[in-house]
Amino acid sequence: MRAVMETISPVIWLCGGALVGGLIGHFGVFRLILRLTARFKWRIGHAFVKHCYRPIQWTVILLVVRILSKLPAMNPHVPEVAQHAFALVMIGLVAWLLIRTVAFAEEYVLARFDVRVKDNLRARKIHTQFKVFKRIAVIVVVILAFGTMLMTFERVRQLGTTILASAGIVGIVVGMAAQKTIATFIAGVQIALTQPIREDDVVIVEGEWGRIEEITLTYVVVRIWDLRRLIVPITYFIDQPFQNWTRISADILGTVFLYTDYTVPVEAVREAMQRFVRASEHWDGKVCGLQVTNATDRTMELRALMSAGDASAAWNLRCEVREKLIEFIQREYPQALPRLRAELEPLKTLPITGDGGSGNTP
């Protein structure tokens, strides 16, 4: 009976330690959340609970159990395998906590920078950098945690010297085999730092107009205007030229071309165009003008230039002004629409002689 009690006693102590650790973790995290909530807004407390509560609670439980297992009365009864398992689980919990902390920081920071506002250049920069660096941080944490777990095994530690000695050769071989993958990874980091593109940027890629929807370490998703998705390798934006309509600001100039007859009164069309643009909700109030930009043997080219706050507003403004100008010319100056001119001359006939001949004398 005594032997049984000596065997069960450590288990009871460890279970009690786990219970105490759970209570400490629960109330400790809860108190920390209260302090954060009092100092900041409730949003940060909610995000902290959502991402970091469970990892911290389980970490505190394992720490309490680990401390109890190291007590002189408990240490002889805890097998070495259990000690090793504690170490592995602790490494995993720390990695889990770091990953969830990155997710918590991402949610808190990105919530302060809304990309849905009109002037969202800074927000798009923060979103792009944070999402790329989050993926890098998660990869680094997982690799370090896995390597640290392996180093807790004695045999793996003994092979460390040999591995380090051959690391140079292995690195060269791996680098040659995975040079494209490494180049893609470096391109992702370069995109995050230099930011030739950002999330929600308006770009022209492969002749398609669209917005940057997602940026990963290996590819970029471009949402085309008709809701198709164009998947582009991230190295494309380093190696190939492309158009970025929102690199500095979102405002853009729009043009409308009309081809009319030479008889059209340009000044009247200009006044009508300015009236239409100023009445439109899509105009940003900066640029509005009409000029004759070309003249061919048949028509005269009129270019209406106008500005808008972003590419979508510019497109709607161009379509609206084009429709109203065509309607205006049709209604007020229908004779000024493009036409094909031809001049007909009367046919000259030769005089007819009395004998019915052609008039030519022999």
Q: What is the per-residue pLDDT for 362?
A: 42
Q: What is the per-residue pLDDT for 330?
A: 92
Contact in structure between 219 and 234 (CB atoms under 8 Å): yes
What pairs with residue 232 in β-bridges? 220
Give start and end residues of each alpha helix (H) in the chain. Answer: 2-39, 42-69, 80-111, 121-151, 154-158, 160-165, 167-177, 179-194, 236-239, 266-279, 311-332
CA dist list (Å): 159 to 68, 156, 164: 33, 5, 9
Q: What is the per-residue pLDDT for 184?
A: 79
243-244 and 229-233 beta bridge pairing:
unpaired
Q: What is the per-residue pLDDT for 283?
A: 93
Q: What is the per-residue pLDDT for 187?
A: 82
Q: What is the per-residue pLDDT for 72?
A: 58
**pLDDT tens over the chain, length 362 residues:** 444 334 444 544 445 444 554 555 555 555 555 555 555 554 566 667 677 778 887 887 777 777 766 665 555 555 677 777 888 888 888 899 898 888 888 887 777 777 677 667 677 777 777 877 888 888 888 888 887 887 777 766 655 555 545 555 555 655 665 567 777 778 888 887 888 898 888 999 999 999 999 888 888 999 998 999 999 998 899 889 999 988 887 788 999 999 999 999 999 999 999 999 999 999 998 999 999 999 988 899 999 999 998 888 999 999 999 999 999 999 999 988 887 777 777 776 666 665 555 445 44
Classify the C-alpha dihedral 101-107-113-115 as positive or negative.
Answer: positive
CA dist list (Å): 342 to 135, 138, 339: 70, 75, 10
Q: What is the per-residue pLDDT for 40?
A: 52
What one-character DSSP code corresponds to residue 334? G
Contact in structure between 251 and 317 (CB atoms under 8 Å): no
Helix (H, G, I), strand (E, B) or coil at 356: coil
Domains of the chain in start order, with CATH, are: 2-112 (no CATH), 252-336 (3.30.70.100)
Q: Inter-axis angle of helices 179-194 and 167-177, to 10 degrees?
A: 80
Q: What is the per-residue pLDDT for 265?
A: 93
Q: What is the per-residue pLDDT for 51?
A: 76
* CA neighbor of 48 nearest in space, from 125, 122, 103: 103
The count of C-alpha atoms lying within 13 angstroms of the C-alpha of 70, restricted to the half-sphere facing its C-beta, is 9
